Structure 1
Amino acid sequence: MSPNPLTDVTTHRYRRHRFPAEIIAHAVWLYFRFPLSLRHVEDLLAERGIEVSFQTVAEWAAKFGREYARSIRRRTRGSFADKWHLDEMGVAIKGRKYWLWRAVDADGYVLDALIQIRRNKQAALKLMRKLLKGQCATPRVMITDKLRSYDAAKREIMPGVEHRSHKGLNNRAENSHLAVRRRERGMIRFKSARQCQRFVSIHGPIANLFHLHRNRASTAEHRKLRNAAMNTWREITLSTAE
């Protein structure tokens, strides 16, 4: 009998883990899909008879969440709208202020996020270079608030791109911060810049997969989209849970 590549990959990815792929994938899905703390996920699993500590959930979220997010990014690269919204929000970490620079497309899908200590041209350049490398494409239009660092960075790295600088036009990016704010409160603030970067790097792609634009779809259409997203999730996580 010829070997099954899917089974081989599954065995390798989850090797030496006491719990099967279905449980690990479900725990990671709960943590990144909903504004839950690690202890909340522990309690939800316990209600189903699965005794896992919140520390184990944290390890799964860091290890497997990174792998799942990487797979989602590979699948979605180049599929986003060509209008990019860039914005930054302040994040307090251990008494020090950082800036979380984020970019979303015209449909609200997260393109990338980068935690930085500065709010200047060099920080804007770093985000734009990361975006261009990750998306393998140049936007048609870039929309930002009136922070001059965006325009200075854009002229240097993307001189031919149309730039619209107006606070009222950038609600798409500002609204996308809300999900991170909710998680920040649930986690009682981020513990370090590294933890924040790791979380947003995983949370963004997973949020994109389940960003279904419910207000644009009927109930039947939404269920169909939700089922498709869950099937994609199972394929990515190599789980077979129904």
Structure 2
Amino acid sequence: MSEPTISYKNHRFPPQIIARAVWLYFRFPLSLRLVEEMLLERGIVVSYETIRRCGRKFGAAYAKQLRRKKPSRKDIWHLDEVVISIGGRKHWLWRAVDQDGYVLDEIVQARRDTKAAKRLLVRLLKKQGLAPKRIVTDKLRSYGAARRDVMSAVGHRSHKGLNNRAENSHGHFENENE
């Protein structure tokens, strides 16, 4: 069964401009007005309200296309965790990002230990279907212990400065129902 293509019929702007505006808004933690300013710098006059409408109309379809990206044996996963507060209690949001900056998976756990890191890696392997070429993490030793147990053949780089892709993915959180 083939998926219906996105129709840009009766839109003022060409598909490339619509795609760029929606991509900027959803890919980076930018406001609608900042996206409007960025497009204006390129000579494209579009209102933030138009960007909002396009994001609402085309955003889900673009996200669906991005999610269909096939995992590759050449992938590099960047793993990181950040502390969040839920109901006044400390939890950890564990996140995996690929070399292109796309979030592969995220999981909230009460712990920050080897068992929690192992749970993330097992879940990633099930979801992706195959192991990456290498994983990049910060200096948390739990990643190394979990990797040895779950996927020992995969390379591992543990360096604070190399893990910026995962660190940058911890942008602001938005409610999808808004």
TM-score, normalised to structure 2, is 0.62
Residue 153 of structure 1 pairs with residue 146 of structure 2 = yes
Give % identity.
Answer: 52
Pick which of 77-86 and 113-122 moved more. 77-86
CA separation in 1, counterparts of 2:122 and 2:95?
13
Distance 1:141 1:77, change over 3 A: same
Amino acid at match of 2:106: A
Structure 2: which 5+ residue stretches go unaligned?
5-21, 32-48
Structure 1: which 5+ residue stretches go unaligned?
8-28, 37-43, 49-56, 58-64, 188-198, 200-242
Kept in 1: contact 2:77–2:134 (CA 8 A): yes
- Aligned partner of 1:231 in structure 2 is none
- Aligned partner of 1:93 in structure 2 is 86
Structure with the bigger percentage of strand? 2
Q: How far is 1:101 from its partner?
A: 0.6
- Aligned partner of 2:173 in structure 1 is 183
Residues 117-171 of structure 1: CA deviation (Å, up to 9, x unaligned): 1111111111101111111111111110111110110000011111111111111
Kept in 1: contact 2:77–2:132 (CA 8 A): yes
CA separation in 2, counterparts of 1:116 and 1:141?
24
Q: How far is 1:76 from its partner?
A: 1.5
Q: Runs of 4 or more off by more than 4 Å in structure 1?
A: 67-72
How well do the aligned residues superpose, as a CA RMSD in angstroms? 3.4
Which one scores higher on RCO, CA 8 angstroms, separation ≥ 6?
Answer: 1
TM-score, normalised to structure 1, is 0.46
- Aligned partner of 1:164 in structure 2 is 157
Kept in 2: contact 1:103–1:113 (CA 8 A): yes
Amino acid at match of 2:130: A
CA separation in 2, counterparts of 1:6 and 1:176?
29
